[in-house]
Amino acid sequence: MSADQKQPNGEERMLPVKRRRSLAWHVTRAGSWAIGGVLALVILLVGGITWFTTTAYFQRRVERRLCRCWRTRLAGGGGAWRAVQPVAPEVEVDG
């Protein structure tokens, strides 16, 4: 044993053993990072949407859109709006 591997008190120093990692370990670690990354993105997205829906800009925009839709519906105008409405089926009854 060489002198540099001995500690000052005379005991031998153990060198760390490099373990070779298996393929399963690498796949599991990569999968964990991928799942963690996706989870972080989902949390960020939900937080951003939650914050944005509480802003005055979003509230004004939704209010304007709803008012425009209701005005069009109540006034009976707007051909595009009527195209989306369900049509009642015509039923003929022989009597």
Distances (CA, A) of 67 to 55, 71, 79: 19, 6, 17
**Residues 81 and 73: beta-carbon distance below 8 Å:** yes
The reply to whether the predicted model has a pTM over 0.85 is no
CA angle 44, 46, 50 (to 5 degrees): 115
Chain center to CA of 74: 38
Ranges of each domain in the chain: 22-75
Encode pLDDT of 71-91 as tens digits.
777 776 555 545 555 556 676
Encode pLDDT of 57-76 as tens digits.
999 999 988 888 887 777 76
pLDDT at 35 over 70: yes
